[in-house]
Structure formats: C-alpha cells, structure tokens
Amino acid sequence: MSASPIIEWLLEGDPAIRWQTMRDLAGASKADVEQERQKVAREGWGQRLLAKQNPSGRWAGGPSPDAGLYTPKWTSTTYTLLLLRDFGLPAENQQARKGCAILLDRALGRGGETCVTGMLLSLLSYFRIEEERRETVVNHLLEEQMPDGGWNCRRRRGATHSSMHTTITALEALRHYELCAGPRAGEVRAAQRRGREFLLVHRLFRSHRTGAVIKPEFLRLAYPPRWHYDILRALDYFQSVNAPRDPRLSEAIEIVRGRQDEDGRWPLEYSYKGPTYFELERLRKPSRWNTLRALRVLRWWEGKRRAER
C-alpha cells in the first residue's frame, strides 16, 4: 500500500483522526483542518463521549463529592477529558470546560500525586481555564521535578529515581501549558528540556546503568495510553515540540518502524484493561491511532515535519 492509500484509509476514520491526518500528513489548509476539527464535538467518538456527561458536569460519579473525578478508570471525568483532548475537541467546548472546572474546584492535583497534577494541568491548559489556580498547579509540577530531570509520583514516599510514566505525563502537561502562553512558559520550556534529557539518557526504554530493557511493555504500541508510558507516546511528544533529532532516539524509531505491517499500517498491540464507554479500535487489528502517530513521528524524524502546526 502506497502512502496515498494509507492517508485515504486514515481519512475514512473518525473526525478525531481525520483532522489530524489533514494537518500532519495531508497538507490541508488551516481552514479545512479547522472545519474538520469542529466535527469532533458533533460526530463520532467525541460526540459519544460528550453524551455520557451527567447533569452535574462529571463523567461517571456517585454519592461521594469526589466520585467520578479520577476513578473509576477509565470512565471518570479526568480520563474522559484526556481522551477528548487527544481527539482535538475545540478548547471552547463548554461541556469540557465545565468538567475541568469541577476538577479544579475539587482541588484535584494541588499538592497531590504528581501524575494527577500533570493530567490536571494538561486539561486546564488545553481547555484554556485561565485563572490563578492553574498557576498553583504548574508551580507544584515544576517543584516536583527531580534532580535527574524527570518526575515520580512516589517521590514523597522516598523514590530517588524518576518514573517514565510520570515523566511523560508531566512533559505533555507542560507542553500544553506552554502552548497556552502561561506566564511561566520560559521556566516550563527549560523543565521540558531537562525532562527530555532524562528520557534520552534511557534511550526511551533502556536502563541507564545496564542497558537492559526497563519494561517490555514500554515497547508495545497501545492506545489510549491512559497513565502508561510507551515509546510511541514518547516519540509523539518529541515530534510535537519539534525537538532535536537526537541519535539516542534512533533505536526506538527503528522499533516503531519495524512494527509497520505489509500494508503500511500499524496494529493496536495492547489495550489497558478496565471498563470503557465504548471500544475505539480492535486489539491486534490495524489501528488508525497508531498509524497516524507513527507516520507523523517518522515524518518528523526524516525532516519532513510541517513548519507550522
């Protein structure tokens, strides 16, 4: 299958896939991309998730004041909003903004677990919740960066080495904060450089001491990633910030390249267990999410990334 049919196959998918394919791979105009992006709220996966929001503004829920905020996984308000963020739901969507406001009002992440803090900052930044409390969240995340450059949600319980899982969550959050031009954007860019170096020292998946694979699951291509780390998620972050194409990424790049099937597509290799509202893609079948992300990573690596995003 040539490049053109692969793009055509991607464009047959959900609006969440189509608008990103148009932007990242097909060279569509900004106006056409934005027109397609607006469909995320009205059609397909995005519309189906928005329809699951309950009258309180949460997804999932229960009698407790904190019910439905972070648990149950993967149907809670936090994880649903993270998916809507990945879909590219327009930032002005009032349903999503209402959900973000509830997370912020319940003080989710302020002074709490670093992974959850990162998720919250990502959502507040993406959906443009501009108020002082967002700055409290970014301050906390910056303060939690460890000497090795990464982050670990178990730092306060004695962890002395950063976690790949927590680090990718923090990096994505800081990227979204940078994009919304928050007042600490300069510090946030510097923190991201240190965080990327932490991942690079590990070549995205190897022990910096022994060279052994840290965890085999880091090499499997899953979507949605939930709170988990894998090399395609990391590489997609690197391309999103147009980071230098460091040679320490080359092994991970070749692993991703090697997962392409004979038709030029990438499969969904793993799906994290737990209740969901609906299935996005079938396990071990060609995945539009993985194909889209792998292709834009490879375009970036080969120097073909578009100048404007």
Tell me what the mean pLDDT of segment 3-27 comes to.
Answer: 95
Query: How many Å apart are CA 89 and CA 225, to the nearest integer?
Result: 18
Place of tokens 């900004």: 30
Q: What tens digit of pLDDT does each residue of 212-231 get?
A: 999 999 999 999 999 999 99
CA angle 121, 253, 84 (to 5 degrees): 30
* Assigned token pair, 202: 């590990």
State residue 110's pLDDT score: 52
The count of other CB atoms within 10 Å of the CB of residue 111 is 12
- Hey, how many other C-beta atoms are within 10 angstroms of the C-beta on 212? 8
Residue 308 has pLDDT above 60, yes or no: no
On whether residue 154 sits in a domain, the answer given is no
The confidence score (pLDDT) of residue 2 equals: 47
**The model's pTM:** 0.95
Residue 84 tokens read as: 């809507």
List the one residue out of 146, 292, 275, 271 whose CA is nearest residue 217.
Answer: 271
Residue 4 lies in a domain: no
What is the pLDDT at residue 144? 96
List beta partners, residue 151: 163
In a domain, 101, yes or no: no
Is residue 295, in this structure, part of any structural domain at all? yes
Report the alpha-carbon distance of residue 72 to residue 272 in Å, rounded. Answer: 14
pLDDT tens digits for range 159-196: 899 999 999 999 999 999 999 988 899 999 999 999 99
**Does the pLDDT value for residue 33 go beyond 90?**
yes
* 97: in domain: no
Among the listed residues 93, 96, 182, the one whose alpha carbon sits nearest the alpha carbon of residue 132: 182
Segment 51-94, tens digit of pLDDT: 999 999 999 977 777 789 999 999 999 999 999 999 999 999 99
Please count the structural domains in the chain: 1
Confidence (pLDDT) at 211: 98
State both tokens at 255. Answer: 């692993």
Q: If you search the block for the tokens 């002074």, which residue do you land on? A: 111
Question: What confidence tens digit (pLDDT) does each residue in 235-278 have?
Answer: 999 999 999 999 999 999 999 999 999 999 999 999 999 999 99
In Å, how far from its chain's centre is CA 180?
A: 16
Q: What is the mean pLDDT of the chain?
A: 94
49: Cα separation from own chain's centroid: 17
**pLDDT higher than 60, residue 306:** no
* Position 279 in a domain: yes
232 is in which domain, residue-wise? Answer: 224-309
Tell me, yes or no, whether 62 lies in a domain.
Answer: no
pLDDT of residue 152: 97
**Whether pLDDT at 4 is above 70:** yes
Can you say whether the dihedral through the CA atoms of 120, 124, 129, 131 is positive or negative?
positive
pLDDT in tens, 89-110: 999 999 999 999 999 998 665 5
Q: 309 falls in which pLDDT band (50, 70, 90)?
A: very low
- Residue 49 has what pLDDT? 98
Residue of 247, 264, 252 whose CA lies nearest to 204: 252
Higher pLDDT pick, 3 / 84: 84
**Would you tell me how many other CB atoms lie within 10 Å of the CB of residue 39?**
17
Residue 124 has pLDDT above 50, yes or no: yes
Which residue type, as a one-letter code, is found at position 29?
S
Is 306 part of any domain?
yes
SS3 content of the chain, % helix, strand, coil (to 5): 50, 5, 45
